[in-house]
Structure 1
Amino acid sequence: MKVKNTKSQKQHKTHKTETGTLAEEIETYGVNDLISFLEKQKGLDYDDAEIIRKEKINGHAFLKFTTKKFRDCGMPGGTAMILADFAKECKEKKSRAFSSYRTKKDLKEVLEKYGAGRIEDIPQFSPRIHKIDEKDESFLHCLKDIRIKLSNMGTVNQSNEAIRCEYISAILHACVHITKNLTGKYIRINPQFEIIGGESTGRVDYAIGALEELFCITEGKQFQIDIGFAQNIMQCESAYRTNKRKQKADDAFYDYIFGIVTTATEWYFLLYTPDGISCTSKNPLSIRFVESALKEGSEEEKELYKSVKRVMEVIVGLLKDRVDVEKMPVVKKQRVCSYFEE
């Protein structure tokens, strides 16, 4: 006997997907974006960059260029061959998975790409916080949820990543809800959201954004915060490129993405822009999820509430900033600069 599918019986996807390849990403590059990309990937020098600029070679044209075409533009023979081979490689190359960045060598390569030798060398920025009322409904709901999880799962000490993500999720959901109420803007949180853009691809633990934009990417870890940094930087870079592709932007496009690297007990924040990265590695926030905090009126309970509120105020501040900022590149640049003003 055949059974008709009802609405309740239909399967629904638990995550959204962004499809694409490295070649499709390069297709969106304007002249300046292509030059920047080739400078990072192939050490393109000033003279060769000027040839590309003069000939107005964008990403679409680059992928079709051969050694002869580069030579016809006045490119030196060696450079022409290198760029032509690289264009062919890009058309065949698959983007690297975020999860594959898992060694000290990978971390070093990612940091060097942004001019840093160690995490401690990354420029610092000061997140703009938004004070949360202690009686805020979403805040109180979050605390109640955390208490239930603590009661069911116990102290977070040697807990695995899945358990830690239970607490991360509770905090992020509350922050998104508070931000929606504050701004009246459409904003969503998508667990296990897949992003493909530029060099890397894969699912991120949590992506927060609107219909056509990603605002904030969170990477949850059991430990290994340093590897979390490498993965989150590449995730933010891909999110930036995804935003640019979806908005069909030109060379004037400018955007910034916030990143969060956390074990639930430690919280680090990143700011990604096409000009570079900055973070709060020297001033992480911490939360102690201990069963003794379940005792009403205890010092542990007070400290738990205080530390959760402090983390949420930073996240809400970042989300509110990103949701409210105007789309004009000059305004976004000014907003980013304000994070470094004393």
Structure 2
Amino acid sequence: MSTSTAEHDSYLVENWDTETLIDYLKEQNLKLDDDDLGILRKQKVTGLSFLDLTEEKYEKWGMAGGPATLLAKEAKTLKEKPKRAFSSYKSLSEVLAKYGIDSNGTDTIPLFSLQTHEIQESDKHFEHCMAEILVRLKNYGSLVVDSLEAMRNEYVVAILHTAINITRDSTGEELSMRPEYEVIGDDSTGRVDFAIKKAENLICITEDKPERNLIEGLAQNIKQLESSCQTNLKKRKRNDDDDFDYLYGIVTTARDWHFLLYTPGKISQGSKLPFSIVFSEDALDKESVEYRTLRDGVKKVLGVVVGLLKDRACAEDDSPSKKKARIEEYRSKK
């Protein structure tokens, strides 16, 4: 995903409006009630003013001492610990070093066992996805290495929406997808290309990159997963150290698809080589080998994406220990 300077600036606390600030504070699990948030709205507190407010000022406005103290501490934390934009991570080796992996490539990232779903040839969502892809091939022509981001995104979106629909039909779980979704972690922040959620919890983060930027896309996706996991854990009501969560990551060029599994302190990949889809305009002939190749590629990628979404969505209400056992099993099989 390309990010403009203006978008970078929007991640700065100083540029937050009142509602953005309140959304952030809600995610920090500070136990603020409607009265506390009402004071922030009434006083039109923005990110810029928030950084300089004191306990005394909040109390003068009628806020109780407890939340006043927490808000002042949160402002101090934000001032002392500026967050780094996801887009600033260019080196995969820098990111992997945190996980004890000495490499600037994917060859040494440990593997996990992919959970896949068998896509039926007659599945209505699969057929609709293929129809959408063929329309785009007819209008755009073949997808090539230097194709525009907007073109790549259309194929990625078609596949992600299809995967969500198949997952919904298969499990009954209600999922949603948010493009350009802002994630704020302990150390990093920014907008992710596509966030898939079950209720308010993030379960899968997708980063779309051109082929030339694939390695930095992997680095950024790992940081996005790290921050997303931190966001999920902050929303929980548990106060002990035994909480556990995991998320799946997807890094794609539309043609090539890489799958990641993140848990706090550990990163794994689904395969050494990417799953690939060849978007060739020759596939417009449904009797051609190219059409069969396209169909098989889409079906295979969908099977992986649906499998990961099913796994994570159905595990949402599991205990931390059960989630941990599940992930240990996936990793032990490799």
The TM-score range, normalised by the shorter chain, is 0.7 to 0.9
Match of 1:331 among 311, 314, 322: 322
Structure 1 counterpart SS, 2:107? helix
Task: Describe the shift of the 1:227–1:17 C-alpha distance in structure 2 as closer, same or farther (beyond 3 A).
Answer: farther
TM superposition shift of 1:107: 2.2
Amino acid at match of 2:142: T
Contact 1:17/1:194 (<8 A) preserved: no
| Structure 1 residue 254 corresponds to structure 2 residue 244 | yes
Structure 1: distance between partners of 2:320 and 2:331: 18
TM superposition shift of 1:338: 2.0
Q: Deviations over 1:157-214 (max 9, x none)?
A: 1202221111000000000011011111111011111110111111101000112210
Contact 2:249/2:260 (<8 A) preserved: yes
| Structure 1 residue 310 corresponds to structure 2 residue 295 | no
| Structure 1 residue 269 corresponds to structure 2 residue 259 | yes
Partner of 2:101: 116
Q: Deviations over 1:56-113 (max 9, x none)?
A: xxxx99x97xxxxxxxxxxxxxxxxxxxxxx9776422211111113xxx32211101
Structure 2: distance between partners of 1:262 and 1:180: 23
Q: Which runs of 4+ in 1 moved over 4 A?
A: 16-19, 24-28, 87-91
Q: Deviations over 1:113-145 (max 9, x none)?
A: 111122221111121101011111111000000
Structure 2 counterpart SS, 1:111? helix
Which sits farther off after the overlay, 193-202 or 92-101? 92-101
Match of 1:20 among 6, 19, 24: 24
Contact 1:214/1:239 (<8 A) preserved: yes
Contact 1:218/1:261 (<8 A) preserved: yes
Which sits farther off after the overlay, 133-142 or 248-257? 248-257
Task: Describe the shift of the 1:181–1:89 C-alpha distance in structure 2 as closer, same or farther (beyond 3 A).
Answer: closer
Partner of 1:150: 137
Partner of 1:321: 311
TM-score norm. by structure 2 comes to 0.75
Structure 2: distance between partners of 1:165 and 1:290: 16
Partner of 1:170: 158
TM superposition shift of 1:249: 3.1
Task: Describe the shift of the 1:25–1:117 C-alpha distance in structure 2 as closer, same or farther (beyond 3 A).
Answer: farther
Structure 1 counterpart SS, 2:331? coil
Contact 1:25/1:241 (<8 A) preserved: no
Task: Describe the shift of the 1:281–1:132 C-alpha distance in structure 2 as closer, same or farther (beyond 3 A).
Answer: closer
| Structure 1 residue 182 corresponds to structure 2 residue 167 | no
Task: Describe the shift of the 1:89–1:207 C-alpha distance in structure 2 as closer, same or farther (beyond 3 A).
Answer: closer
Contact 1:254/1:332 (<8 A) preserved: yes
Contact 1:125/1:278 (<8 A) preserved: yes
Contact 2:28/2:235 (<8 A) preserved: no
Partner of 1:280: 270
Contact 1:167/1:264 (<8 A) preserved: yes
Partner of 1:298: 288
Contact 1:17/1:193 (<8 A) preserved: no
Contact 1:120/1:281 (<8 A) preserved: no
Match of 2:231 among 242, 248, 256: 242
**Structure 1 gaps, min length 5:** 1-15, 29-59, 65-86
Partner of 1:193: 181
TM superposition shift of 1:20: 3.4
Structure 2: distance between partners of 1:20 and 1:232: 21
TM-score norm. by structure 1 comes to 0.73
Structure 1: distance between partners of 2:81 and 2:320: 31
CA RMSD, Structure 1 to Structure 2 (Å): 2.4
Structure 1: distance between partners of 2:139 and 2:198: 33
Amino acid at match of 1:241: Q
Task: Describe the shift of the 1:26–1:323 C-alpha distance in structure 2 as closer, same or farther (beyond 3 A).
Answer: closer
Amino acid at match of 1:133: Q
Partner of 1:72: none
Contact 2:225/2:247 (<8 A) preserved: yes
Structure 2: distance between partners of 1:216 and 1:225: 18
Task: Describe the shift of the 1:317–1:301 C-alpha distance in structure 2 as closer, same or farther (beyond 3 A).
Answer: same
Number of residue pairs aligned between Structure 1 and Structure 2: 268
